[in-house]
Amino acid sequence: MTGPRNSPGHRSPYQRRDNSNLRGRRPNALGRRPVVEQTPSIRASDPPPPGVQIVWTRQRQGAHPWFVCGCGRKATLLYPCGASWACRRCCGLDFRSQQLVPRDRLILAAQKARLRIGGTGNLLDPFPLRPATMNREKYERLAAKAIAAEQRLKAALSTS
Ligand SMILES: [Zn+2]
C-alpha cells in the first residue's frame, strides 16, 4: 500500500504498541482465547482508521455508524489484529461469558437481567420492584426476561 499513511514521519493516531500477544486465535496462558473485555478497541463513532469504511443504518432517531470489517461484517467495535483492525470474529476474540461453564453462564445471565431492572445482581435478594424512573412497559418486558433467566437457572441446578 502507498500513500500518506505510509510516508516516513507520519504517525497515525491508531498506531499502537506491540499487541502481537492479542493477534489471531492463539490461546492465552490459561489455554483460552483472548476476550474482548481485555482487548483495546475503537468505536465506530470515532474517526475510522485508514482503509476502514463506515456505513450508517437508520434508527428511530438519527443513524448508527458501523465499521465494515475486511470480512464484510458490520461492527460497532474493531480490535487490533496483526497490522490492522478487524472485527471480534476475525481477531479470534471471545466474549468472557463464552468461556464460562454453562451453569455459570446462566447465573451471569440471571444477574445481568436483575441489574437491568434496578436489582443488585444478588439472586437471593427479593425480586426488584419497578424503579420509579422506569417506564412500566419496559419494566414488565425486562422483568419477564429476568424471571425466564432465573427459571432456566433453576432448571439447570435441579438436574445437576
Ligand atoms: Zn471481520
pLDDT digits (tens, 9 = 90+) for 26-37: 565 666 788 998
Report if residue 43 sits inside a domain.
yes
Q: Give the global pTM.
A: 0.58
In a domain, 49, yes or no: yes
Claim to verify: residue 122 and residue 148 sit in the same structural domain: yes
Find the 92 Cα to ligand 1 centroid distance in Å: 9
- Single out the residue in 96, 125, 148 at which a domain terminates: 96
CA of 81 from ligand 1 middle (Å) equals 10
Q: Which domain holds residue 27?
A: 17-96
- Report CA(17)–ligand 1 centroid distance (Å): 22
Are 124 and 57 within one domain? no
User: Ligand 1 mean position to 79 CA, how many Å?
Assistant: 10
Q: What's residue 18's pLDDT?
A: 43
Cβ neighbours around 156 below 10 Å, total: 14
Whole-Å CA distances, 10 to 6, 22, 53: 7, 25, 21
Residue 48: inside a domain: yes
Same domain, 90 and 113: no
